[in-house]
Structure 1
Amino acid sequence: MNEQAARKVELMRAIETADTKHEILSEDDRLYASRSARELANWQAAEGKGAPALELFLQQRADLVTKRLAERTPAFASFLHRRPLMPAFAVLLPILGFLAGAGLDRIADPHRVDLLSAPLLLIIGWNLLVYLALIVWAVIPSKRTGWASPSLLRRLSVGAAGLPRKLPAPMAAGLTQYIADWSQLAAKLTSLRLGRTVHLAAAAFALGAIASLYARGVTTAYAAGWESTFLDAQQVHTLLSALFAPALAVFPLQGFSLADIQALRFVQEPSPAGGARWVHLYAATLLLFVVLPRLVLAIVSALRARLIARRFPLDLGQPYYRALADRIGASGPAVLRVIPYSFTVDESRHKGLAAIAAKVLGEQAQLMLRPSSPYGEEPKDTLRDARLDDADVAVTAVLFNLAATPERENHGAFLDYLARNTPRGIAVLLDESSLAERGAGQAGFDARLEERASLWRQFCQYHGTTATVVDLLHPDKYPLDVGAGLATSRLS
């Protein structure tokens, strides 16, 4: 699935997940989109004598869903036509870089070539420092995608954060979630494109400086020389020999001796001879130290970005996609793994969990119920035999009793351990069945129940997860939209 298709599929997921009450997409709308997309996927599978392609099904379904929403809501149509800032930024920044380099009149005096030109040395020194930082960044592991801030990457990947007016509330919530999710999903791709653009701009800046040198030399007779309060001719010769050694080794340029350097020292009037030689050395040095390395880095970033854009890494193992895949038989049964914490699951509640798995992951979903983890024990001991990175598990859910009071050193430590060691993240189920049985019929019970649920939600949010309240004795009490799935923590 390429980047554009993944963007639309992710947009569809965000909207459908937010529209839990089917206010903007009715059940008929969803069934029609699924049926039409499934027919096309099955037709192409029959042509190729293979299984239905989930990616094609999702792309076609996303096209149908977004098209229908755009027809009904003009504000959503305007959002669809919104373009990220990256394409325009990728064109403008190199142009501005070239113009800035071309306007840098003080690489030398308008009428002289300064052998110790501060702008030249700064350009080369800065680029060498950048290369060193890139090497360090590549060697030292980091969770960051680059030097750019998340807000800059978001604006470049999805544009402005503001939404069009007159959007239905569920759609506005879905688009807000889409902006947050896509910014995170596309962060690496946008970072590579930004790096490519910055490298091109740096190369363009150096090319602009070279062009400025030669253009001014057409109408001006450069006089070459140098002056320094603290350096003598020998030290200047050593410095320039090291600086221009690569250019002299690669290009057939005229070299210089210590006597040449001594003769070019500015005393009263600069020498009118030899300016062209130093212009060529400056240009060749900028070419070798700045232009060519930056172009190579830009090409590498562009190729890496192209690979990601052509095969965008969208995790189709998420509950939402697994539930849709179940409708076309594009994958095997999805597995919901439930890890109870200080919670004994009896037969009735086990059936409730199975019903929730079917609602969330499709009718063919399977339930994997692990033994309850004892209260207060170390998670690494109770879960030593659990394969938390099992690729066959679509969702790992921690099951808590809503009647319990969350404790950071016990419940929180358990959540933190699972979040660190479960690649796809975790979900949290809060079972209210036992609490509801004890408080049924009591005055003000509903308010106390909501207060306890709110406490747990805040607690889980603090630990990077999202909690879902369920009643395992009455699994249909709370709607869990098929395809919406359970909210899971995202690991950065």
Structure 2
Amino acid sequence: MSEAYKNIEQGRFSLRDAEVITEAKLLEQTPTLNWESSDANRATRQAALAVGEDASAASFLVARARVVEKMIVAKNPTVKPTALRFTPPVWINAALVGIAFILGLLTDQFASESSRINLLSLPFFGVLLWNILVYVMLLISSIRHKTSRDFLGLRSALGILEKALTIKQVRLTKSITTLLQPFVLHYAARAFHLAALFFVLGMICSVLLRGVGTAYTVGWESTWFANSPDIVYQIIALTYGIFTNFLGPMPNILDVANMRFDRLSVNAVDVSAGLWLMRMIFMLAVFVAVPRLLLALKHTLQINALKKNFPLDLSERYYADILRTWRSEAMTLDLLVSDRSDNPQNIESIYRFAEELGFNLSEVKTHHWNPDTDEMPLTLEAQGQSQQVWVLMNATTTPENEVQGVALEQIKAKLGSTPLVILVDMSSYMARFGDFSDRIDTRKELWKNFSESLGLPVVFYHCGIRPDQQTCDELKLATQQAH
């Protein structure tokens, strides 16, 4: 594999391409399907031929995903691939916004009694304080770790709902939770910002519509501050006066004291609410509507950016194996076959293992080798371009440092950095001593100690048995260790 693909960790794809690739991944990882490693490698080779040698990882993975889907459907006629859509259903956000708008309309009903507007109205102050608190939390969380940026867990709650409705199946939702996390949380954040915006718009619309046919009067009443007009004056001046001076002069402390509703009724004086309503609307616009609109726009831009450049973690084993197989088309595998392992059945088994690991079988070369000669086969020396070398040994042979050890040391020195792995066939030994598990364990331990003394990885396999996933995984691991 070239360095460009050996070190690749993350790829960028369009949203639709990411959906197609993930569909194929979920299909391949479905345990009940008729799908084997050789099928996966065949799909890789077909896609490689389709996109050409100079293709990017993104175009190759998309092409392979389409090939995989066709092959799986052909082998499993009853299978209907799930069409993934990472974008949450529109109705979720629309419903949230609609409910918020209706609640905003109703809030004015609770905030004003009949045609009176209380300047110390809890709903009005509550909306302002809540939004200011949210902005403070967002500011604090922006400098913290990303996992701490979800205020009160609201985004995660909506995100779980959107993911579940997007994927429609619990198993699939669990499988791609990490993949969808940043994308869906942007949708959830935007939905909450729009909900807050439309809640305030509902409040504003209610006030404006009711003001057409209702003569509002304004004042204040409070259990705690009834005898403290100075405190009420400070609250009103702080809330309504700092940003709305351009709308008109604020009342002084005596005017505020006389605006208490019980005094207004005694004096038979009504204070018009028009100017105060404008102040309330302006404050709601400045502290809620505009910031929430800007935050919603920010997340919209982030969503659009993700749709064009959706991240996939290509360091994940699934993608790493596929990319390794793709680039291994140019790799060669050489088999050193010792005298005790030289039989057609054994060679065929090793070829099947090579195919499972993604090697092009036309690039697998066999070399007969006699450890007693202490020399590398001339065919291997003449080739001199090995990417990997597997040494095939038989468990019936007792490894000796003076014989096999010396021979392997010389081969290891000549190969240099080329990975060298010892494969020990256990089939003959188990056929002879299958009833003595302790002897089998002892023989394996003997080969392990021998390999460790040479600094080489060892893998045990069974000639004539269909390649199993465990042995394939051990071979992959051994190759990585050999590197």
Q: TM-score range by the shorter chain?
A: 0.5 to 0.7
- Partner letter of residue 23 of structure 1? N
How far is the alpha carbon of 1:290 from its aligned partner? Answer: 1.1
Residues 16-42 of structure 1, C-alpha deviation per residue, up to 9 Å, x if partnerless? 2345x96157956863x4455334422
**1:115 aligned to which of 110, 119, 130:** 119
Structure 1 residues 25 and 432: CA distance shift in structure 2, 3 A: closer
Structure 1 residues 62 and 235: CA distance shift in structure 2, 3 A: same
Rounded Cα–Cα distance in structure 2 between residues aligned with 1:328 and 1:30: 8
**Partner residue in 1 for 2:239:** 243
- Contact 1:101–1:209, Cα closer than 8 Å, also in 2: yes
- Contact 1:85–1:155, Cα closer than 8 Å, also in 2: no
Matched residue count: 355
Spell out the pairing of 1:328-367 with structure 2 (5 A cutoff): 328-329=326-327, 362-363=358-359
- Contact 1:148–1:191, Cα closer than 8 Å, also in 2: no
Rounded Cα–Cα distance in structure 1 between residues aligned with 2:122 and 2:351: 73
Spell out the pairing of 1:61-460 with structure 2 (5 A cutoff): 61-66=64-69, 69=72, 76-77=80-81, 79-80=82-83, 85-104=88-107, 105-141=109-145, 143=147, 146=150, 147-148=153-154, 153-159=159-165, 163=169, 176=171, 178-231=172-225, 232-248=228-244, 252-267=247-262, 269=265, 271-326=269-324, 328-329=326-327, 362-363=358-359, 441-442=434-435
- Contact 1:83–1:159, Cα closer than 8 Å, also in 2: no
**Partner residue in 2 for 1:23:** 34
Any idea what SS the aligned residue of 1:247 has? Answer: coil
- Contact 1:52–1:330, Cα closer than 8 Å, also in 2: no
**Partner residue in 1 for 2:61:** 58
- Contact 1:432–1:471, Cα closer than 8 Å, also in 2: no
Residues 257-281 of structure 1, C-alpha deviation per residue, up to 9 Å, x if partnerless? 3233123211152743321011111
- Partner letter of residue 159 of structure 1? L
Structure 1 residues 121 and 74: CA distance shift in structure 2, 3 A: farther
Rounded Cα–Cα distance in structure 1 between residues aligned with 2:238 and 2:95: 35
Rounded Cα–Cα distance in structure 1 between residues aligned with 2:239 and 2:184: 35
Any idea what SS the aligned residue of 1:80 has? Answer: coil
**Partner residue in 2 for 1:41:** 51
How far is the alpha carbon of 1:478 from its aligned partner? Answer: 2.0
Normalized per residue, the structure richer in helix is 2
Task: For structure 1, list consecutive stretches of 5 or more residues without a partner in the other structure.
Answer: 46-50, 164-174, 334-347, 349-353, 365-430, 450-469, 488-492
Q: Which has the larger displacement, 98-107 or 201-210?
A: 98-107
- Partner letter of residue 59 of structure 1? V
Any idea what SS the aligned residue of 1:472 has? Answer: strand
Residues 407-447 of structure 1, C-alpha deviation per residue, up to 9 Å, x if partnerless? xxxxxxxxxxxxxxxxxxxxxxxx998xx97x9523789xx
**1:478 aligned to which of 464, 468, 476:** 468
Any idea what SS the aligned residue of 2:435 has? Answer: coil
Q: Which has the larger displacement, 64-73 or 193-202?
A: 64-73
- Contact 2:41–2:358, Cα closer than 8 Å, also in 1: no
Any idea what SS the aligned residue of 2:270 has? Answer: strand
Structure 1 residues 157 and 278: CA distance shift in structure 2, 3 A: same
- Contact 1:82–1:159, Cα closer than 8 Å, also in 2: no
- Contact 1:107–1:120, Cα closer than 8 Å, also in 2: yes
Residues 233-275 of structure 1, C-alpha deviation per residue, up to 9 Å, x if partnerless? 22111111111244315x5445333233123211152743321
Any idea what SS the aligned residue of 1:273 has? Answer: coil
- Contact 1:113–1:278, Cα closer than 8 Å, also in 2: no
- Contact 2:117–2:219, Cα closer than 8 Å, also in 1: yes
Any idea what SS the aligned residue of 1:136 has? Answer: helix
Task: For structure 2, list consecutive stretches of 5 or more residues without a partner in the other structure.
Answer: 1-12, 332-340, 342-349, 361-423, 442-456, 478-483
Any idea what SS the aligned residue of 2:461 has? Answer: coil
Residues 295-314 of structure 1, C-alpha deviation per residue, up to 9 Å, x if partnerless? 12222222223323321221
Rounded Cα–Cα distance in structure 2 between residues aligned with 1:4 and 1:148: 28
Structure 1 residues 471 and 331: CA distance shift in structure 2, 3 A: closer
Q: Which has the larger displacement, 323-332 or 54-63?
A: 323-332
- Contact 1:224–1:271, Cα closer than 8 Å, also in 2: no
Q: What is the aligned-residue RMSD (CA, Å)?
A: 4.3
Rounded Cα–Cα distance in structure 1 between residues aligned with 2:433 and 2:351: 23
- Contact 1:319–1:361, Cα closer than 8 Å, also in 2: no
Structure 1 residues 247 and 356: CA distance shift in structure 2, 3 A: farther
After TM superposition, the score normalised by the length of structure 1 is 0.61
Rounded Cα–Cα distance in structure 2 between residues aligned with 1:288 and 1:54: 47
